[in-house]
Amino acid sequence: MNQTQKKVLRIIEDLKEHLSYLKLFGFQEIPVEIPSLENFKNDVSKKPLTNMSLTLSEIKEELGDCRRCKLFSTRTHIVFGVGNKNADIVFVGEGPGQEEDKQGVPFVGMAGQKLTDIIEKGMGLKRSDVYICNIVKCRPPNNRDPEKDEIDACSSFLEKQIKAINPKVIVALGKPASSTLLGRNVAITRERGTWHSFQGYQVMLTFHPAYLLRFYTEENRRLVWEDMKKALSAI
Ligand code: SF4
């Protein structure tokens, strides 16, 4: 039984005890305020309901000193993810680069600085407001794209992270992240700026910040800003 299940069990036991106590004092029923139920419905309407998801620390614990795929042999650090555990937006990239591998933190190299600029200067949020992670948690050698067997071994942890955070929007950065979340080959230049769904979560596709560094044109900047405005409108 995980920590969340234990907490729910404790709450049920406390509630049972409290109800028995009220019964002793002659209570036959408990009034329920219908408006509070309405508020509850409104509050959760934008987020998919998660069922008994693990916490981020439990997921990290489960990942442990992972050797589920060949990337373990060349990594320095596992790069799990960083940010607000209750974030409305989760950014998903493809895998850690050299600097990320060294520090154990995602998006801290040059592409990371670009992503931080997009979040802070463009979207007007703080980097610590959002959550940032990758499809695979260990660096693919020479920054190559993650391979299918590596994605298959690692992606269940990404799914668990998303369920734990329960965001309103996922932003998929680049083709490998978009293709993994959508379960098909995504043509990112054609499909960026469009909405999709991953297990009930809204997904906005956009370019990877490394692509922006390589092709830093006014047009590409404008396109990414259009995509981020859409993501912002959903939160
Ligand atoms: S990439 Fe993922 S599955 Fe592969 S070793 Fe690293 S943490 Fe484990």
- CA dist 234 and 169 (Å) reads 7
- The β-bridge partners of 172 are 92, 205
For ligand 1, the distance from its centroid to the CA atom of residue 151, given in whole angstroms, is 8
Tell me what pLDDT residue 37 has.
40
Residue 43 has pLDDT above 80, yes or no: no
Sheet holding 195-198, edge to edge: 82-83, 131-134, 89-93, 169-173, 201-206, 195-198
For ligand 1, the distance from its centroid to the CA atom of residue 92, given in whole angstroms, is 16
Instruction: Decide: 92 and 172 in contact? Cβ < 8 Å.
Output: yes
- Residue 35: pLDDT band (50, 70, 90) is very low
Residue 46 has pLDDT above 60, yes or no: no
Tell me what pLDDT residue 216 has.
81
User: Domain 57-233 - what CATH class?
Assistant: alpha beta
**Poorest-pLDDT segment among 16-20, 38-42, 138-142, 173-177:** 38-42
Instruction: Decide: 202 and 232 in contact? Cβ < 8 Å.
Output: no
Q: Please work out whether the CB of residue 59 comes within 6 Å of at least one atom of ligand 1.
A: no
Average pLDDT rounded to a whole number, residues 61-76: 97
Cα dihedral 48/181/102/126 (nearest 10): -40
- The β-bridge partners of 2 are none
Q: Please work out whether the CB of residue 165 comes within 6 Å of at least one atom of ligand 1.
A: no
For ligand 1, the distance from its centroid to the CA atom of residue 163, given in whole angstroms, is 19
Average pLDDT rounded to a whole number, residues 88-94: 97
Stronger pLDDT, 148 or 31, i.e. the higher one: 148
Q: Please work out whether the CB of residue 154 comes within 6 Å of at least one atom of ligand 1.
A: yes
Q: Please work out whether the CB of residue 160 comes within 6 Å of at least one atom of ligand 1.
A: no
For ligand 1, the distance from its centroid to the CA atom of residue 11, given in whole angstroms, is 35
- CA dist 89 and 129 (Å) reads 8
- Domain positions in the chain are 57-233
DSSP annotation string for 60-96: HHHHSS--SSGGGGT-SS----EE-TT-SEEEEES--
pLDDT, tens digit, for every residue of 92-132? 999 999 999 999 999 999 999 999 999 999 999 999 999 99
- The β-bridge partners of 206 are 173
Q: Please work out whether the CB of residue 138 comes within 6 Å of at least one atom of ligand 1.
A: yes
Total-model pTM = 0.79
Q: Please work out whether the CB of residue 60 comes within 6 Å of at least one atom of ligand 1.
A: no
- Residue 15: pLDDT band (50, 70, 90) is low
For the chain, give the percent of residues with pLDDT over 90.
74
Q: Please work out whether the CB of residue 228 comes within 6 Å of at least one atom of ligand 1.
A: no
Mean per-residue pLDDT of the chain: 87
